[in-house]
Amino acid sequence: RIHAIMRAALTIVAALSLLLLSYTNAARSRATHTNNWAVLVATSKYWLNYRHSSNIMSIYRSVKRLGIPDSNILLLNSEDHSCNPRNPWKATVFNNESHALNVYGDDVEVDYRGEEVTTENFLRLLTGRHDPSVPRSKRLLSDDSSNILIYMTGHGGDEFIKFQGTSELMAQDLADALVQMDAKRRYHQILLMVETCQAGTLISRIASPRVVALASSVKGESSYSYLNDFSLGQPVIDRFTHLTLFFAEALQLDSPTTLQDLVSLYG
């Protein structure tokens, strides 16, 4: 299952903590690490993919709680499920069937929405190859002192993830983008997390240095939903994100927790 994909990450101590904790904790990392960024991507449209919005909004809420400001978060959401006509509770997205927490909240900044969430825009965001007209708020203004969390959720298959059901980001495209990021000194360390079916194949071609990649499934394996909400008629979160969120919500700015602790949750 996911053990083989994550085995290489077991020796990387405190990687998730470094990427998620606020700037005040930067001195605990390597000397060249000074700032944190997050790129959060939900690639699926339509009401039946409610859980993918919930996945990404849950992670968005966690990284903000841990000190990464909206100015350093690039949020890409293909569908605004909070305002979908089928949503009986407008301006809400829940990640549990009891509706105890609205992860959409009152202060959300979506940088790319709807038809803006494309493979081209995602790759341009990572590599910095923007049209001059693209505003700063839609750019990843990272450098070689930046730790970056990239979290992707959606539908996928063997070496691809779908964007809105009309195009695919291929494993080689993702690997090439990371090579460009390294050449342009756009990151210090990257933690890439992928929640999709056969997610391990999407990260299989990555060879760039200082990149730790975690996936929810291996080749030929599905990534499963979790917590069905019968009032919505949809599952409200995926299992991999649910466990990741359980881990992230327990973190504090001075947590001694390591990436190995996260991997152990996945079993």
Q: Catalytic residues, which ones?
A: 155, 197
H/E element holding 246? helix 239-249
Distance CA 157, CA 210 (A): 25
Q: Tokens for 205?
A: 């071609």
Q: What are phi and psi of 63, to 5 degrees?
A: -70, -30
Residue with tokens 């030929």, as numbered in its chain: 220
Contact 37/147 with Cβ under 8 angstroms?
A: yes
Q: What length is written for the chain?
A: 267
Ordered alpha helix ranges (H), 21-139: 50-65, 119-127
Q: Are 22 and 36 in contact (CB under 8 A)?
A: yes
Q: Are 67 and 24 in contact (CB under 8 A)?
A: yes
Q: Which two tokens stand for residue 9?
A: 């990450």
Angle (CA) 173-157-199 rounded to 5° is 75
Look-up of token digits 């929405």: 113
Encoded tokens for 227: 């917590």
- Is the distance from CB of 17 to CB of 257 less than 8 angstroms? yes
CB 95 within 8 A of CB 237: yes
Give one word for 150, left, alpha or beta, with left for phi > 0 and alpha for psi -120 to 50.
beta
